[in-house]
């Protein structure tokens, strides 16, 4: 049993380094075409931090492990919202731009509601079973396209947001290609290790794939977001800390579940509705936090509530399995 655990850790490590190198190479390539750092952050970097979830879900969807697919995305989104924002909010109270409070955070809530409607076929449409099918995946990808269009319009309409943040370093052509190709290779191999060994661990300990997906896999694939947001908080860049999380959560639902269900329809276990409720509730709490107390700020005590709630909820999930 030691070997699968070590291979799982190795897979997560390879995933994270693969995503990091791919982002660095792709960002350098984008910079060569005079794309602003903010645009790179909202697209290339946001995609890069979600790449581990995408690769893990691709393998899980193709192999028919539906609980890993939903557990990974819902678990990652809850980890992002409760743990990462909780930790970064304790480091520094997070004050965000007006568009984040009024638009991006509500968009992330809309994404949760759309997912809830698409996966609850039995309850909402009296179907025989609940499946996130290829048509549902198409809807999610269309929503993802609309979100990217919104980002583009936001950059065009508000030039004050186009500022030099986290400047992207230029790389020589050979190094750029090596980072992109090597990073993608690391993502693929790391994702393969994570899925196969997570399932083996779950079966050996008699733990459901749902719990493994919601906890170990979700936390592991969220490490890039954790690193990005903590560094941003230490540098007192609250917009990057919050924007990274909200963007990643939108990417995870629209892009990752959309792409996963296009590859193969994914059966939905209604037990995951609880995790959707938690995600929706946490997002609503974040919206309320933006408009209570100090305007557009997540205060330390609000961040502490997020953190403590998630720790309690995760403990409850694990105790249910014992």
CATH of the domain at 96: 1.20.1420.30
The whole-angstrom separation of Cα 192 and Cα 11 is: 8
Average pLDDT, stretch 114-143?
Answer: 95
Which residue, 246, 233, 173, is CA-closest to 25? 173
Give the per-residue pLDDT at 318. Answer: 83
Give the per-residue pLDDT at 37. Answer: 59
pLDDT tens column, 180-205: 888 888 888 998 899 899 988 888 88
**Beta strands 297-298 and 131-132, pairing class:** unpaired
Cα distance between the two ends of the chain: 19
Q: Is the pLDDT at 165 greater than 50, yes or no? A: no
**Residues 108 and 246: beta-carbon distance below 8 Å:** yes
pTM of the complete model: 0.86
The whole-angstrom separation of Cα 1 and Cα 123 is: 40
The whole-angstrom separation of Cα 280 and Cα 246 is: 13
More confident: 99 or 109: 109
pLDDT tens column, 64-97: 899 999 999 999 999 999 999 999 999 999 888 8
Q: For 207-210, which contacts have Cβ atoms below 8 Å and span 24 or more sequence positions?
A: 207/321, 208/67, 208/321, 209/65, 209/67, 209/68, 209/71, 210/67, 210/70, 210/71, 210/269, 210/271, 210/272
Which structural domain range is residue 82 located in? Answer: 2-321
Structure tokens at 219: 């936390």
Q: For 125-130, which contacts have Cβ atoms below 8 Å and span 24 or more sequence positions?
A: 129/267, 130/267, 130/268, 130/270
Q: What angle do CA 243, 246, 252 make, to 5 degrees?
A: 130
For residue 114, how many C-alpha atoms fall within 13 Å in the half-sphere facing its CB?
21
Query: What pLDDT band is residue 170 in, cutting at 50, 70 and 90?
Result: low
Structure tokens at 191: 């994702």
Evaluate the CA torsion angle 114, 118, 119, 125 in order and state its sign: positive
pLDDT tens column, 249-282: 999 999 999 999 999 999 999 999 999 999 999 9
Percent of the chain topping pLDDT 90: 45
Residue found under tokens 């954790």: 226
Query: What pLDDT band is residue 162 in, cutting at 50, 70 and 90?
Result: very low
Give the per-residue pLDDT at 45. Answer: 66
Structure tokens at 255: 């892009």
**Residues 188 and 198: beta-carbon distance below 8 Å:** no
More confident: 146 or 98: 146
Q: Based on the structure, what is the number of domains in the chain? A: 1
Taking the C-alpha atoms of 220, 8, 258 and 207 in order, what is their torsion angle to the nearest 10 degrees? -90
């Amino acid at each position: 049993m030691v070997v699968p655990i070590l291979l799982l850790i190795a897979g997560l490590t390879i995933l994270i380094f693969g995503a990091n190198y791919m982002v660095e190479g792709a960002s350098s390539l984008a910079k060569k075409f005079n794309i602003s750092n903010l645009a790179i952050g909202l697209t290339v970097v946001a995609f890069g931090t979600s790449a581990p979830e995408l690769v893990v879900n691709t393998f899980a969807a193709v192999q028919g492990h539906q609980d890993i697919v939903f557990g990974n995305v819902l678990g990652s989104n809850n980890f992002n919202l409760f743990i990462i924002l909780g930790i970064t909010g304790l480091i520094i109270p997070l004050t965000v731009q007006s568009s984040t409070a009024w638009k991006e955070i509500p968009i992330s809530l809309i994404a949760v509601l759309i997912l809830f409607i698409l996966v609850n076929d039995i309850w909402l449409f009296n179907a025989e079973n609940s499946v996130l099918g290829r048509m549902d995946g198409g809807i999610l990808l269309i929503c993802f396209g609309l979100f990217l269009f919104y980002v583009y319009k936001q950059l065009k309409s508000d030039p004050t947001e186009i500022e030099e943040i986290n400047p992207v370093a230029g790389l020589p052509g050979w190094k750029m290609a090596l980072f992109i190709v090597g990073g993608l290779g690391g993502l693929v191999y790391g994702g393969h290790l994570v899925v196969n060994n997570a399932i083996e661990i779950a079966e050996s300990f008699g733990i459901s794939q749902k719990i493994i997906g919601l906890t170990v896999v979700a936390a592991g694939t969220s490490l890039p977001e954790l690193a990005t947001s903590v560094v941003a908080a230490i540098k007192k860049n609250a917009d990057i800390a919050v924007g990274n999380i909200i963007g990643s959560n939108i990417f995870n639902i629209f892009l990752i579940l959309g792409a996963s269900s296009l590859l193969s329809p994914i059966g939905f276990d209604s037990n995951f509705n609880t995790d959707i409720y938690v995600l929706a509730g946490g997002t609503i709490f974040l919206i309320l936090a933006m408009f209570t107390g100090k305007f557009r700020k997540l205060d330390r005590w609000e961040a502490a509530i997020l953190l403590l709630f998630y720790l309690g909820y995760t403990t409850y999930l694990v105790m249910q399995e014992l």
